[in-house]
């Protein structure tokens, strides 16, 4: 079996859920229709039995209660069959019986106009004398009972005769069928404004006629057809929604595959603000970062190769000149080759330092940064003198004489930072210039930090290049033209090291015409 995609799985899950729901709806609707049809028909039937409720009311009015009718099935049957005169008036003989008009017209042995018919076996003449005058018990406005309402005392279990009952005002059974009062249809019997009883009709338990069964089948078919149409519509809608919902996921999948193949410029279209849109934005940000990192990596490799090639080319030229006899190996040649070797080694060390995580091997210990700075200045004093660059360190000596700020850090790394800054000044400051070092210590109320400011003289750095000074292997055009120019890694190493110590470094134009480097380091808690 082929593997299903996520969209197909979601579609099948939705389809299965919809099928179950619709089948449940259709099944419950058909069952509810079958069960509710009896109650509905009972409500209709009980509304058409005004004539019987009037007979019961006459009985109650004549007797004042239901005692004569309670548990008196014979009286109840005769009342149903229209023999109400004997029940109500207490007639002694059947001759005193007076039937209601509907019964006289529809009783067996009578014609449609009420004239009696002769029974073949009885020998009675069709012209037999009419019955005595009847008592008109029912007003003419009452509905007639349906044909065949009284086929006899026996009948099917669901016939009206077997489902009728009389209840008193409290809902207790007086006479008739044993029914559930909660489920039965009721018609109140009112004496004045007082309810004295109820005529109750239990719902039929089955279908009595072909018409009922045909109606039920027709309605069940309509429900089933509606369910099938709804199911088809739901399946089509779920398929369309699944395709629409998973289009962004498919696009993300394809884009991820393209990025994995190296096409880092791939982006996905983002629509809306839901979770999928957020996922698309995150993917685009990731792809942008990867693209930028890859471009930076390629540029770094190209710059590193260029930087390594420069001293190697100089050494190769010296060696080829010696081999060709153009130059003799003397002290000056050895010095030039030694300088190139030192430069090559320094470049390799800088490359390794730039690729190292600053916090990976950072040693935390109490460090005195002013002492480290003074040590770096003493180490480069002769070189500053050779370049004719004056050092203004009065602020440093004054602060160091009165206090020794302490930070938690790595002494070796901080010494490297100070050396890189001094080497930068030596490499790019014109002869006869000046380097001024400013020092300030802020207390707890103003930040509890140490600030060092390095101001050198011309030449300066163009303002558009200042934000890029801390990029790896970046060197301005001024420095590239110099033979003593560095690798372009010193400032990036400084920034990474200072950030690992919780500090910062910023570059800005110097009032002296050169470059200003501002270093901020947090002091230790005990400082």
Whether the pLDDT of residue 135 is over 80: the answer is no
Is residue 313 domain-resident?
A: yes
Assess whether 489 and 425 both reside in one domain.
yes
pLDDT in tens, 295-306: 877 876 776 776
Assess whether 279 and 373 both reside in one domain.
no
Residue 81 CA to its chain's centroid (Å): 70
pLDDT at 338: 82
Assess whether 300 and 447 both reside in one domain.
no
Residue range 414-429: average pLDDT? 89
Is residue 122 domain-resident?
A: no
pLDDT at 510: 92
**3-class DSSP string for 149-200:** CCCCCCCCCCCHHHHEEEEECCCCEEEECCCCCCCCEEEEEEECCEEEEEEE
pLDDT at 270: 85
pLDDT at 448: 85
Assess whether 320 and 395 both reside in one domain.
no
pLDDT: which is higher, 440 or 43 = 440
Whether the pLDDT of residue 392 is over 90: the answer is yes
Assess whether 494 and 348 both reside in one domain.
no
pLDDT at 118: 40
Is residue 73 domain-resident?
A: yes
- State which of 141-145, 296-300, 388-392 shows the largest mean pLDDT: 388-392
- Residue 123 carries which DSSP code? T
Assess whether 323 and 228 both reside in one domain.
no
Whether the pLDDT of residue 84 is over 60: the answer is no
Q: Which of 201, 228, 244 is the last residue of a domain?
A: 201
pLDDT: which is higher, 486 or 5 = 5
Q: Output the six-digit token pair for 137.
A: 């018990």
Of the pLDDT bands very low, low, confident and very high (cuts 50, 70, 90), residue 272 is: confident
Residue range 357-381: average pLDDT? 82
pLDDT at 127: 43
pLDDT at 38: 66
pLDDT at 447: 58
Residue range 310-323: average pLDDT? 83
Of the pLDDT bands very low, low, confident and very high (cuts 50, 70, 90), residue 35 is: low
pLDDT at 273: 80
Assess whether 372 and 442 both reside in one domain.
yes
Q: What residue numbers bound the domain in which 14 lies?
A: 6-41+210-253
Least confident range of 19-28, 336-345, 467-476? 467-476
- State which of 69-83, 171-185, 296-310 shows the largest mean pLDDT: 171-185
Cα(137)–Cα(58) distance, rounded to whole angstroms?
8
Count how many domains the chain has: 4
Of the pLDDT bands very low, low, confident and very high (cuts 50, 70, 90), residue 483 is: very low
Assess whether 195 and 53 both reside in one domain.
yes
Assess whether 368 and 514 both reside in one domain.
yes
Residue range 264-282: average pLDDT? 85
Of the pLDDT bands very low, low, confident and very high (cuts 50, 70, 90), residue 418 is: very high
Of the pLDDT bands very low, low, confident and very high (cuts 50, 70, 90), residue 32 is: confident
How far from each other are the two terminal CA atoms of the chain, in whole angstroms? 72
Question: Phi and psi (nearest 5°) for 284?
Answer: -65, -40
Q: How far is CA 423 from CA 56, 219, 342, 487, 495, in A?
A: 122, 97, 14, 11, 15
Q: Which of 308, 323, 355 is the last residue of a domain?
A: 355
Q: Which of 324, 355, 386 is the last residue of a domain?
A: 355
pLDDT in tens, 209-249: 566 667 777 777 887 788 788 778 878 887 887 777 778 88
Cα(37)–Cα(17) distance, rounded to whole angstroms?
30
Of the pLDDT bands very low, low, confident and very high (cuts 50, 70, 90), residue 314 is: confident
Is residue 418 domain-resident?
A: yes
pLDDT in tens, 444-473: 544 589 999 999 998 888 888 888 888 766
Residue range 50-62: average pLDDT? 84
The three-point CA angle 322-324-328 to 5° equals 35
Is residue 165 domain-resident?
A: yes
367: enclosing H helix or E strand: strand 365-367
Whether the pLDDT of residue 131 is over 80: the answer is no
Cα(317)–Cα(322) distance, rounded to whole angstroms?
9
pLDDT at 162: 76
Which CATH number characterizes residue 426's domain?
3.30.565.10
Which CATH number characterizes residue 283's domain?
1.10.287.130
Closest among 469, 472, 479 to 509, alpha carbons compared: 469
Is residue 337 domain-resident?
A: yes
Cβ–Cβ under 8 Å, residues 195 and 162: no
Residue 199, beta-bridge partner list: 166, 187
- State which of 77-86, 175-184, 357-366, 415-424 shows the largest mean pLDDT: 415-424
Of the pLDDT bands very low, low, confident and very high (cuts 50, 70, 90), residue 207 is: low
Is residue 27 domain-resident?
A: yes
Residue 166, beta-bridge partner list: 175, 199
Whether the pLDDT of residue 61 is over 80: the answer is yes
Is residue 119 domain-resident?
A: no
pLDDT at 473: 61
Least confident range of 107-116, 153-162, 197-206, 494-503? 107-116
Whether the pLDDT of residue 330 is over 60: the answer is yes
Assess whether 81 and 160 both reside in one domain.
yes
Least confident range of 103-107, 335-339, 439-443? 103-107
Least confident range of 88-97, 218-227, 345-354? 88-97
């Amino acid at each position: 079996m082929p593997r299903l995609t996520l969209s197909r799985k979601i579609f099948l899950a939705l389809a299965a859920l919809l099928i179950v729901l619709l089948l449940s709806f259709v099944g419950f609707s058909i069952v509810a229709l079958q069960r509710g049809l009896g109650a509905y028909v009972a409500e209709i039937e009980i509304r058409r039995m005004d004539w019987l409720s009037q007979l019961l009311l006459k009985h109650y009015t004549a007797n004042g209660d239901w005692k004569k009718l309670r548990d008196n099935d014979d009286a109840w049957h005769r009342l149903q069959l229209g023999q109400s005169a004997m029940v109500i008036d207490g007639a002694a003989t059947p001759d005193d019986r007076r039937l209601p008009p509907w019964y006289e017209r529809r009783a067996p042995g009578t014609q449609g106009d009420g004239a009696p018919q002769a029974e073949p076996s009885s020998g009675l003449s069709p012209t037999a004398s009419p019955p005595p005058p009847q008592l008109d018990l029912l007003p003419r406005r009452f509905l007639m009972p349906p044909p065949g309402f009284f086929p006899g005392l026996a009948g099917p279990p669901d016939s009206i005769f077997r489902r009728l009952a009389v209840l008193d005002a409290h809902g207790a059974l007086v006479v008739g069928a044993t029914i559930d009062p909660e489920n039965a249809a009721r018609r109140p019997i009112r004496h004045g404004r007082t309810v004295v009883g109820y005529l109750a009709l239990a719902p039929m338990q089955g279908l009595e006629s072909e018409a009922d069964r045909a109606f039920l089948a027709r309605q069940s078919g309509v429900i089933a057809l509606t369910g099938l149409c709804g199911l088809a519509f739901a399946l089509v809608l779920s398929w369309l929604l699944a395709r629409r919902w998973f289009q962004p996921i498919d696009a993300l999948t394809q884009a991820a595959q393209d990025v994995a193949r190296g096409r880092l410029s791939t982006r996905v279209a983002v629509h809306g603000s839901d979770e999928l849109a957020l996922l698309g934005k995150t993917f685009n940000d990731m792809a942008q970062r990867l693209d930028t990192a890859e471009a930076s990596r390629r540029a770094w490799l190209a710059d590193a190769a260029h930087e390594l090639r420069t001293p190697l080319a100089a050494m190769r030229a010296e060696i080829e000149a010696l081999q060709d006899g153009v130059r003799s190996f003397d002290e000056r040649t050895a010095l030039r080759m030694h300088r190139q070797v030192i430069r090559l080694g320094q470049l390799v060390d800088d490359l390794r330092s730039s690729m190292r995580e600053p916090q990976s091997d950072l040693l935390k210990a109490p460090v005195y940064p002013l002492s480290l700075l003074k040590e770096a200045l003493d180490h480069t004093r002769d070189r500053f003198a050779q370049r004719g660059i004056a050092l203004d360190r009065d602020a440093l000596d004054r602060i160091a004489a009165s206090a020794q700020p302490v930070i938690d850090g790595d002494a070796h790394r901080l010494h490297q930072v100070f050396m890189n800054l001094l080497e930068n000044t030596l490499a790019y400051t014109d002869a006869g210039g000046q380097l001024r070092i400013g020092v300030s210590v802020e207390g707890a109320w103003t930040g509890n930090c140490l600030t060092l400011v390095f101001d050198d003289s011309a030449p300066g750095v163009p303002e558009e290049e200042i934000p890029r000074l801390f990029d790896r292997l970046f060197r301005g055009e001024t420095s590239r033209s110099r033979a003593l120019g560095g690798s372009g890694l010193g400032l990036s190493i400084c920034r990474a090291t200072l950030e690992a110590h919780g500090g910062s470094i910023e570059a800005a134009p110097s009032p002296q015409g050169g470059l200003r480097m501002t270093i901020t380091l947090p002091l230790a808690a005990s400082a």
